[in-house]
Structures are given as structure tokens and as C-alpha cells.
Amino acid sequence: MLTSLIRYVHKWRQYGAAVRELSSLNDRELADIGIHRSEIPRIALEHIRN
């Protein structure tokens, strides 16, 4: 149980880091890589699932 909690916290931190990093980009930079701002949470979630 403790291992799954630690894994969850680690994944949550990875998610937050991905969201922060993508959110720091301006709209032009996001468009250059083919991402719309509204897609950031979904993309971050996909990142931690892989």
C-alpha cells in the first residue's frame, strides 16, 4: 500500500511538472509543436501514463 501511495505521488508530481512546463510556453510556441492550450492537461496525463 505504501508503495502504491509513493507511486501515485510520483506520478502526480510528474503531471504537475508537465503541466507547468507546457503552460510556460506562449501560444505561438505551443502552435509550433501542434498543441492547443486546452490540450495541456490531456497531454500531461498521457505523459505520465506512458
Block means of pLDDT (10 residues each) for the chain, 50 residues, are 95 97 98 97 94
Q: Are 41 and 20 in contact (CB under 8 A)?
A: no
Q: Are 30 and 22 in contact (CB under 8 A)?
A: yes
pLDDT for 3 equals 96
Whole-model pTM? 0.85
pLDDT for 34 equals 97
pLDDT for 50 equals 83
CA–CA dist 11, 14 (Å, integer): 5
Quick one: three-class SS letters along the chain? CHHHHHHHHHHHHHHHHHHHHHHCCCHHHHHHCCCCHHHHHHHHHHHHHC
